Structure 1
């Protein structure tokens, strides 16, 4: 569980990164979960965009993907959300 200070720090870092995944009308499948898991291991911080044609709400998609990957939900704004998971091998982010 992250503290509010750590969440604020991660929100600041996520401000400048682009969304590298999109969730469309297909929803969240096993392939997307595996890709997000790999990206979290490589980057630790991932931004995801939920398209307008998606059948899922942004917060709902964030919670489901966070639960499936074991990541923490950092921020949900508009159609985008940010996930964080500490990397086992490529640790680059030092939390305050």
Structure 2
């Protein structure tokens, strides 16, 4: 489900007060890191992830995170990325219609 611009704007506003729940560093996206991201998305729906690497490496990690978890990229600023995946049974975040 692709997010509309107004939905991304709403989620960006909600993400300001969040702290990164996962940090990806030298070892990259290991199975443990991916499992932690899955668990955080399942519980919170909207999460921040800190990516410590050069720009090309961060781009590859973001693409892999989005494709592996099925999450939508809300925004990225420097080394911080914000992802959203709606909970299938009990959504916590109410998105605008358009």
TM normalised by structure 2 equals: 0.88
**Cα separation, 2, equivalents of 1:80 and 1:55:** 12
Distance of 2:47 and 2:27 partners within structure 1? 20
Structure 2: gaps spanning 5 or more residues: none
Give the alignment of 1:16-31 within 5 angstroms. Answer: 16-31=17-32
- Please report the TM-score for the alignment, with normalisation by the length of structure 1: 0.90
State the shift of 1:56 in Å: 5.6
1:71 alignment partner in structure 2? 71
Gaps of 5+ in 1: none
After TM superposition, give the deviation of residue 83 of structure 1 in Å: 0.4
**Corresponding pairs, count:** 95
Note the aligned Cα RMSD (angstroms). Answer: 1.7
